[in-house]
Structure 1
Amino acid sequence: MKKNQHLIVKGNVIDRGQLKWGALMLPEHVRMLREWRDDEPAKHKPHLDEEELDLLQEEIGLAHQRQCMVELRYWSDGLATLSGVIVSIDLFSRTVQVLNGTKAVQIGFNDLLGIRLID
């Protein structure tokens, strides 16, 4: 039997979310809502909680210590990515300097969203 991936259990109630309203809406409205939902995250910077910030700090420290390739996700008027090696971490100016090929790029701590080590 195939499981319905749209079902969400909230307490004792099984909620189908937007699935239950799909039959009552015109296809044009559904398309417009999907487009609106896809555009929405790109307009606002995501907020990281304390646990995510701690994990991000640990990963940056480990990558700097190992001098290995990383892929950084950061916010620069939209979501952006950068691959390179972390050259320095400046606690005074609160920036991370990443060597991408031959050029060095500085990214502020407040703009960092995620990091992935590439070994």
Structure 2
Amino acid sequence: MIRDRGNIKWNAMMLPEHVKLLREWHEKDQYVKKPELDEWALQELSEQLGIAYTNKIEVELSIWKEKEIFKVTGKIAKLNVNNALLYLEDGRQFPFQSIFGVAFIAID
């Protein structure tokens, strides 16, 4: 059985500039493109946000920001259609363009 050390054996022969470039390349490889929603998905998203706002239901939002996706939970305090912003009760705000998923959190 061959017991290879992987990349460890090559580190001594690599210049620091190469290591830096490889790390940057690996970080860029983890970037996520912004999801594109079609007309039906946007309509469904709008309806779910409206239901959550009127009924004060806690939601989990899927947000795309700066090449990564993260999830946020909370209750919607305000929907500002003029500025295209969604405000949560804890003071956070998100533009409509960055929201691409809504899920209702079950209440026990």
* 1:43-72 Cα distance to aligned partner (Å, 9 max, x none): 311101110000000000000010011000
* 1:18-52 Cα distance to aligned partner (Å, 9 max, x none): xxxxxxxxxxxxxxxxxx9xx56x43111011100
Q: Which residue of 1 aligns with 2:76?
A: 86
Out of 70, 85, 95, the position equivalent to 1:108 is 95
4+ long deviations beyond 6 Å: none
Q: Which residue of 2 aligns with 1:16?
A: none
Q: Which residue of 2 aligns with 1:71?
A: 60
Greater Cα radius of gyration, structure 1 or 2: 2
How many residues end up aligned between the 2 structures? Answer: 78
| 2:35 paired with 1:46 | yes
User: Which of the pair is proportionally richer in strand?
Assistant: 1
Letter in 1 for 2:60: E
Q: Which residue of 2 aligns with 1:97?
A: 87
With a CA cutoff of 8 Å and minimum separation of 6, indicate the structure with the bigger relative contact order. 2
Identity %: 27
Mark the runs of 5 or more structure 1 residues left unpaired by the alignment.
1-35
Structure 2 length normalisation: TM-score?
0.67
Query: For 1:74 and 1:48, how far apart are their aligned partners in 2?
Result: 13
